[in-house]
Copies of this chain bind each other. A is one copy, B any other.
């Protein structure tokens, strides 16, 4: 019994991070009417190796059939269950600037159990305005909104300067999961989970790889000059 729990806890973080992608791929297959899929095909659709996919799925249980593959619908259900998408996750979004608006609209696309139940902002000019079918409410109403809908996830779409204050307020209402779009670290008490999404971080990582590629090519060119006589085509693109 406790062993069951331990095995459930045993899903590695790296695997969890890929499950949403698998689920998306499976959903796409369902829409195309495909009912069965091999690890090879699904892995290709999700952009991973088939070995990795099989190992990931093996952490959830044995939902495949040897010699056949996976039942698309059933596997999708099991992944959704593992991710907790079979239950309801009421969400509030704080900060109704451009980003908050985009998120409020975009969230309509989400198939899972996420439901935006509150849009909040500190600016009185925005309060009352209708966005994506929901009236914006003032930050002071946070506690009311949160308890009214048993909100479990908070999304921060404010400037960095107010992010920590907003986060503290969210945590005070009992929210234990925070998605932070502000470009700053949040400090939270133990037991609260935060994830950060940041455009600038991603661009910087892309820039690093781009720069490295440029340096590599340049260095390769030099090396190629030296070795040109012996090896006309030194290397293919690595990685």
Contacts and interface: CB of A to CB of B under 8 A. Distances in A.
Nearest to A193: B209
A198 B199 CA distance: 11
A103 B184 CA distance: 17
Contact of A191 (B24, B113, B114, B213): B213
Contact of A200 (B105, B109, B193, B215): B109
Interface stretch (A93-101, A118-126, A133-141, A163-171): A93-101
Interface string A26-55: 001000000000000000011100000000
Interface stretch (A2-10, A61-69, A70-78, A142-150): A2-10
A24 B185 CA distance: 9
Contact of A105 (B98, B105, B210): B98
30 contacts: A5-B215, A8-B215, A16-B205, A17-B205, A19-B208, A20-B198, A20-B200, A20-B201, A20-B204, A21-B185, A28-B184, A47-B187, A82-B208, A83-B204, A84-B208, A84-B210, A89-B203, A91-B203, A98-B102, A107-B199, A109-B200, A112-B200, A114-B200, A153-B207, A177-B209, A178-B206, A179-B206, A193-B209, A193-B210, A195-B205
A184 B23 CA distance: 11
A219 interface: yes
B2 A219 contact: yes
A206 B195 contact: yes
Copies in the complex: 2
The interface size bin for chain A is 35 or more
A215 B46 CA distance: 29
Given A153-B206, A212-B8, A184 B114 contact: no
